[in-house]
Structure 1
Amino acid sequence: MNTSELKKVNVDEVYKNDRDHMIHSWSVQSKLNPMVVNEAEGCYFWDGNGKKYLDMAAQLVNQNIGHQHPKVVKAIKDQADKLCFAAPGFANEARSTLAKLLSEVTPEGINHFFFTNGGADANENAIKIARLATGKWKIISRYRSYHGSTYGAIALTGDPRRPPVEPGMPGVVKVYDPYCYRCTFGKEYGKCNMECVKHIEETIMYENPDTVAAIIVESVTGSNGIFIPPKEYFTQLRALCDKYNILLITDEVMSGFGRTGEWFGIDNFGVLPDIMTMAKGINSGYVPLGAVGVSDEVTKKIYDKNLFCGLTYSGHPLACAAAVATITAYREEKVIENAKAQGELLANFIAEMKEKHRSVGDVRNIGLFGCIELVKNRETKEPIVPWNGSGEAMDRVKKSFMDDGVYMYLRWNYMFIVPPCTISEEEMKEAFLAIDKALTIADGYVEE
């Protein structure tokens, strides 16, 4: 798309209306200066003044299919002409077709789906289903996690967005994470005896297994730093759940639909969940949608019970039609395979950056789910800005990216590399140049 082809927008009016009337998420309203976004296509978007940005954040790690995919846009238009809405109690083509398609791409045994509006309420409803199926009520989740901002989902969450809105849903118990770079137990992978799993079993025993309904984990931790667990972590966690009759819920909201180079993050670890949640990449956010996938075994346990889950927009026809088109495009255009291939390119590049730049403490990626962790000192691993904080170093890094027309997801001392799964090698190399330049700036904040 050329700049001359962009539709004109009154930038001043859009901005004024926003600041006069909008309340933005996760923000101090008085300090906001939001960019006016005008149009988007593929891996790029344009601001109101016509400047082009390479979207290396996939907006909120959800534009897996890329912006304005023509097949998805057409599916929404066609569905709007046919049926814009049907109450959840009815069957309709878009809804039932999507459920069948999901059963074909989700892990073995996940064949039943409850549709939601997004990831947070998918996790909320997964908890309801787990409690109904087991007759137990406690839920174990991890400290370095994010499961959504609604009251139940934020209670499941471990990161700093939770405490300001407490008290939350009762019955949630927190455990530590498989964060090998900063192991809570002071161990080194390979010599650790998987203490992070043994800690979970000890917690279960303290809480009484007869009270624990489920363990919910992100298959690959997302916004807290892209923590990729060792394969044996999930093997042992699955065995732990089986031992104590606890359901394993995998949160695939961010790690699903190609992000890790597989359909779902859990596919990388060779275990089967009892329940899985999804959103974001299910239709790349073209219309809000989430889902809870439930195994055949769990479905049997709730089939003759009243399900106390309900949303007016559950299985919204426009959203489902967009998802059907998205999943079809993933398959036909080999988007999942592209994410794996570009992920290999990414792995090589970030390894080079670790060798080249003193500010890089750790690098990790699985598919196009990547993170560069910045430190002041490699020996002490002190973050370049405080955990749950900000500072001049990351402010300058952000400015460098924006000046170069590359939009990155930055949080604390983490630089996330999470572009659309449709990204090309040429576009990846464009981003690499900007990353290399930004890391040179970060190197100036390293303390010997």
Structure 2
Amino acid sequence: AVAETCRRHGILVIADEVMTGFGRTGRWFGMDNWDVHPDILTAGKGCTSGYVPFGFVAASAAVFDTVAPHGFTHGFTWSHNALGAAVGSAVIRRLREDALVERSRELGERIRKDLCTALDGCRAVGDVRGLGLMIGIELVRDPGSKEPFPRAERVTERVLAAARDGGLLLYSSTGHVGGIDGDLLMLGPAFCISDDEATALVDRTAAAIRSVV
């Protein structure tokens, strides 16, 4: 709906795929989940699997043909990076040959279902959501109203500490409710995670949450 509205009014659709691109959401790009083709796309991180700092911008033919006659007047110290391009090419080849994008989609569905089962009855869990291997667990004071915990209680930080003590590193996000409150745990495992490791991820995440809330 957003893309359709933009195009109806002659507005370019720009997709930030830095975190969601290259299979993280179970599709090559996050926008593919809704069959949306942006006019401009930015990407990074996953395109080199984190081995080399690298990012890029891609544009549709219509955008390119409009800008090209006037030249692309830009330049950065680290632009046109041959090493980054080589690593990115190798990562894309590995994603294709090992079917890791499909692996992200299938394993992500399993992990979300297993998390819901492991956290069933835990009143502090407001939601388990995500696509592919980009999964979030929202922690709330009241699951009915989704009232958040006060930031002063530092729920996210306490769960992260408990998980770390159990041998697991989680990604945190706070302040998404009113810019202050809100507790969210994020899971973004490697696409090559084994089935046994996925089970351990679920078990240790659930144990850390239950030990705090």
TM norm. shorter chain > 0.5: yes
- Could you tell me how far 1:249 is from its partner in structure 2? 0.3
Check if 1:437 corresponds to 2:207. Answer: yes
Equivalent residue in structure 2 for 1:393, among 131, 136, 155: 155
| Contact persistence 2:118–2:203 (CA under 8 A) | no
Tell me whether 1:415 sits opposite 2:180 in the alignment.
no
Q: Distance in 2 between matches of 1:433 and 1:323?
A: 33
Q: Which residue of structure 2 aligns with residue 233 of structure 1?
A: none
Cα shift at 1:251: 0.5
Q: Between the two proteins, what is the percent identity of the paired residues? A: 35
In the TM superposition, what whole-angstrom CA distance separates every residue of 1:2-52 from its partner, at most 9, and x where no partner exists?
xxxxxxxxxxxxxxxxxxxxxxxxxxxxxxxxxxxxxxxxxxxxxxxxxxx
Runs of 4+ with deviation above 6 angstroms: none
Select the residue among 329, 342, 345 that pairs with 2:94. Answer: 329
Letter matched to residue 281 of structure 1: G
Q: Give structure 1 stretches of 5+ with no counterpart.
A: 1-235, 444-448
Match of 2:38 in 1: 273
CA deviations over 1:256-295 (Å, ceiling 9, x no partner) = 0010001000111012110100001000121111010110
* Cross-structure match for 1:406: 168
For residue 39 of structure 2, what is the amino acid of its counterpart? D
**Secondary structure of 1:376's partner?**
coil
Q: Determine the structure 1 residue equivalent to 2:139.
A: 374
303-312 or 290-299: which moved more? Answer: 303-312
User: In the alignment, what sits opposite 1:303?
Assistant: 68
Unaligned runs of 5+ in 2: 175-182
Q: How does 1:26-105 map to 2 (within 5 A)?
A: none
Contact 1:410 1:416 in 2 (8 A): yes
The code of the aligned residue for 2:212 comes to A
Return the index of the structure with the highest Cα Rg: 1
How far 1:392 moved relative to its partner?
4.2
Change (3 A) 1:363 1:308: same
Task: Provide, for residues 61-88 of structure 1, a one-character-per-residue CA deviation record: whole Å limited to 9, x for no partner.
Answer: xxxxxxxxxxxxxxxxxxxxxxxxxxxx
Distance 1:385 1:310 in 2: 45
Q: Say if 1:359 and 1:442, in contact at 8 Å, map to a contact too.
A: no
State the distance in 1 between where 2:150 and 2:193 align: 30
Q: What SS is found at the alignment partner of 2:140? A: strand
Q: Counterpart of 2:18 in structure 1: which amino acid?
A: V
Separation of aligned partners in 1, 2:46 and 2:58 = 15
Report which structure shows greater RCO (CA 8 Å, sep ≥6).
Answer: 1
